[in-house]
């Protein structure tokens, strides 16, 4: 993506012109109304008080007329409020913090790698190089079954991991919100690569004895962007069912999907994916508008599957030895950039202030009519959002998005630090990032957050939240014991 209007951008004076322009356009209504109000005030003063009294007395206030008008006003107000879409509130959310015993520091990972892949030193080298440049830290966690040499991914172990992650997250969420299991009306679980029968949603219903008329859905195979797909589904369901709670669980179960072969492109997920999960409570009840943390503003989904290259860039397949793993293609970043552009084109008009949209429009018209050589205007998303939660897919993804959206390092700090502390926890990483921002005390009432996630297929989904109340630094949560150590500087290459 190119630079903005290169000829003038170096000038300092232009910065103030731009600021003034933004202020003018964004507050245009105020600027128009003030002269009108002044005019009316002057007119009233000119008329004098006696004239006004005369005007007032000349109005005939018939009882019937007054009642009718009042009746109409009330009706129109009711109709207006009934036809507005319901507000969806995020009451609270909770992220799973794996125990210390599951930690995989670099030394452990490399030792395991050397023992398991002892016949393929090149693959071991490859894994080491990936780990050095990955941006992961020493405190990321893998489930117990993967700590065995060789790993023992049985179905029991996978169910065990699912139970630990999901139930811990839900227990902590119920404690924070005070909600009872019988109150939950909608349950959505998303886990991409593990879909046992009965489903994980049935497992949750069983453990917490949820009601028998619960609307439960179990999404799978939708990749790292599944968390936002679940939020989208919850929103659609909450529009139809008034006065309900929706519990959304986003997780990725690593146990059954550890690649046991030696094909290099398929060893990459082993190095990046880590254990994690999040439970989110959404509500459309009016009384939660006071205690909810966030309000959902928009969810935009973009699917680039129609393009063959995009479809094949994250693909599960068998390697020559018949072992199953996920193959990440080399042009993943390019495709991600394209998908992001599509998503931004849809979300831009919904969230950008009028000033940015006008500039974009003018540049577009200018390019079409006057000079096609004008560089396209990249809207400044920092005007629309205070915080950014970019899915911690890998260092390259965060770098690419930082460059494309022209974000500062403080904006992507949450994503980088989540990648460092927790690794790529797939669909739940967005919630760890949000938790980081809250733990740092940066979330204030009215702040807008943009969550972006990519997924296989190729999808780019984004959600916009607005902070409902200033959030005090939480005393619990996954960052509670280490937030003071962050942010850390993550070197380009960590020498192993």
Q: Which residues from 174-213 bind another protein, rule CB under 8 A? A: 192-203, 205-206, 209-213
Whose Cβ is closer to another protein: residue 268's or residue 417's?
268
Pick from 1, 117, 6: nearest CA to 374: 6
**Cα 348 from Cα 335, distance rounded (Å):** 19
Shortest Å distance, C-beta 305 to another protein: 3
- CA of 131: how far to CAs of 37, 166, 333, 391, 417, in Å? 64, 28, 19, 18, 16
Residue 428 tokens read as 């739940």
Closest CA to 454 of 435, 470, 437, 430: 430
Nearer to another protein, 84 or 373 (CB): 84
Q: Site mask, another protein, residues 122-161, x = CB under 8 A?
A: --------------------------------xxx-----
Location of structure tokens 């146990």:
255
Binding window for another protein (CB under 8 A); candidates: 28-36, 308-316, 349-357, 464-472: 308-316
Minimum distance from residue 159 beta carbon to another protein (Å)? 8
Which of 90, 116, 162, 229 is the binder for another protein (CB under 8 A)? 229
Of 91, 93, 444, residue with least CA distance to 288 = 91
Q: In the annotation, is 387 catalytic? A: yes
411 in catalytic set:
no
Select 9 or 65, whichever has its Cβ closest to another protein: 65
Q: Is residue 224 flagged as an active site residue?
A: yes
| Contacts (CB under 8 A) with another protein, residues 350-369 | none
Task: Determine which residue in the list 38, 53, 240, 361 makes contact with another protein, applying CB under 8 A.
Answer: 240
Q: Give the residues across from 6 on adjacent strands.
A: none
Tokens matching residue 3: 């630079």
Q: Are 131 and 419 in contact (CB under 8 A)?
A: no
Residue ranges in 440-459 that form contacts with another protein under rule CB under 8 A = 456-459
For residue 371, what are its two tokens?
Answer: 């000079």
Which of 79, 100, 290, 369 is close enough to bind another protein by CB under 8 A? 79
CB of 428 to another protein, least distance (A): 17
Q: Which residue in the list 391, 411, 460, 467 is annotated as catalytic?
A: 391
Show Cβ contacts of residue 123 under 8 Å, excluding neighbours closer than 6 positions: 117, 262, 263, 264, 267
Contacting range for another protein; rule: CB under 8 A; set: 16-24, 238-246, 277-285, 381-389: 238-246
Catalytic residue among 147, 241, 298, 303: 303
Residue of the chain from 65, 108, 408, 470 that contacts another protein (CB under 8 A): 65
> Is 241 annotated as catalytic?
no
**Is residue 322 close enough to count as binding another protein by CB under 8 A?**
yes
State in angstroms the smallest separation of the CB of 303 from another protein.
5
From 95, 141, 191, 224, active-site residue: 224
3 vs 58 by CB, closer to another protein: 58
CB of 236 to another protein, least distance (A): 5
Of the candidate residues 311, 329, 334, 469, the single one contacting another protein (CB under 8 A):
311
Write out the binding residues for another protein, residues 20-59 only, by CB under 8 A. Answer: 58-59
Nearest-approach distance from CB 333 to another protein, in angstroms:
17
CB of 453 vs another protein, minimal distance in Å: 15
Number of residues lying near another protein (CB under 8 A): 78
Q: How far apart are CA 71 and CA 19, in angstroms?
A: 46
Work out how close the CB of 46 gets to another protein at its nearest, in angstroms, rounded to a whole number: 22
Cβ pair 312, 329 in contact under 8 A: yes
Within 324-343, the residues that bind another protein by CB under 8 A are 324, 326, 342
> Which residues carry out catalysis?
224, 303, 387, 391, 420, 424
């Amino acid at each position: 993506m190119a630079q903005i209007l290169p000829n003038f951008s170096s000038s300092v004076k232009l910065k103030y012109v731009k600021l003034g322009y933004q202020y003018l356009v964004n507050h245009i209504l105020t600027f128009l109304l003030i002269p009108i109000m002044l005019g009316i005030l002057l007119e009233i003063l000119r008329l004098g008080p006696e004239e006004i009294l005369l005007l007032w007395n000349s109005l005939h206030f018939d009882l019937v007329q007054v009642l009718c008008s009042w009746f109409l006003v009330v009706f129109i107000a009711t109709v207006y409020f009934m036809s507005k879409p319901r507000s969806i509130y995020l009451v609270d959310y909770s992220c799973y913090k794996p125990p210390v015993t599951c930690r995989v520091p670099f030394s452990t990972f490399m030792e395991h790698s050397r023992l398991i892949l002892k016949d393929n030193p090149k693959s071991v080298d490859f894994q080491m190089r990936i780990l050095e440049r990955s941006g992961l830290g020493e405190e990321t966690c893998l489930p117990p079954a993967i700590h065995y040499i060789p790993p023992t991914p049985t179905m029991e172990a996978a169910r065990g991991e699912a139970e630990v992650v999901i139930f811990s997250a839900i227990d902590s969420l119920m404690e924070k919100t005070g909600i009872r299991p019988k109150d939950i009306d909608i349950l959505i679980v998303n886990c991409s690569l593990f879909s046992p029968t009965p489903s994980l949603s049935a497992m949750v219903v069983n453990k917490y004895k949820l009601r028998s008329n619960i609307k439960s859905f179990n999404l799978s195979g939708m990749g790292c962007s599944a968390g936002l797909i679940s939020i989208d589904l919850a929103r659609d369901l909450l529009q139809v069912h008034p006065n309900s709670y929706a519990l959304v669980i986003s997780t990725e179960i690593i146990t059954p999907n550890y690649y046991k072969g030696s094909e290099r492109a398929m060893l990459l997920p082993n190095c990046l994916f880590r254990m994690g999960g999040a439970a989110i409570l959404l509500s459309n009840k009016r009384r939660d508008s006071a205690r909810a943390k966030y309000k959902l503003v928009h969810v935009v989904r973009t699917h680039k599957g129609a393009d063959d290259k995009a479809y094949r860039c994250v693909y599960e397949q068998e390697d020559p030895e018949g072992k199953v793993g996920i193959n990440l293609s080399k042009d993943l970043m390019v495709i991600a950039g394209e998908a992001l552009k599509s998503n931004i084109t849809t979300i831009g008009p919904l969230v950008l202030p009028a000033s940015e949209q006008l500039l974009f429009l003018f540049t577009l018209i200018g390019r079409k009519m006057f000079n096609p050589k004008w560089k396209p205007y990249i809207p400044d998303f920092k005007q629309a959002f205070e915080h950014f939660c970019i899915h911690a897919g890998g260092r390259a993804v965060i770098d690419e998005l930082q460059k494309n959206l022209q974000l500062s390092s403080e904006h992507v700090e949450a994503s980088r630090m989540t990648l460092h502390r927790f690794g790529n926890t797939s669909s739940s990483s967005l919630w760890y990032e949000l938790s980081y921002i809250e733990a740092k005390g940066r979330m204030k009432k009215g702040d807008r957050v943009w969550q972006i996630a990519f997924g296989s297929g190729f999808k780019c989904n984004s959600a916009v939240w607005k902070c409902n109340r200033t959030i005090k630094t939480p005393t619990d949560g996954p960052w509670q014991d280490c937030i003071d150590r962050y942010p850390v500087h993550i070197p380009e290459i960590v020498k192993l």
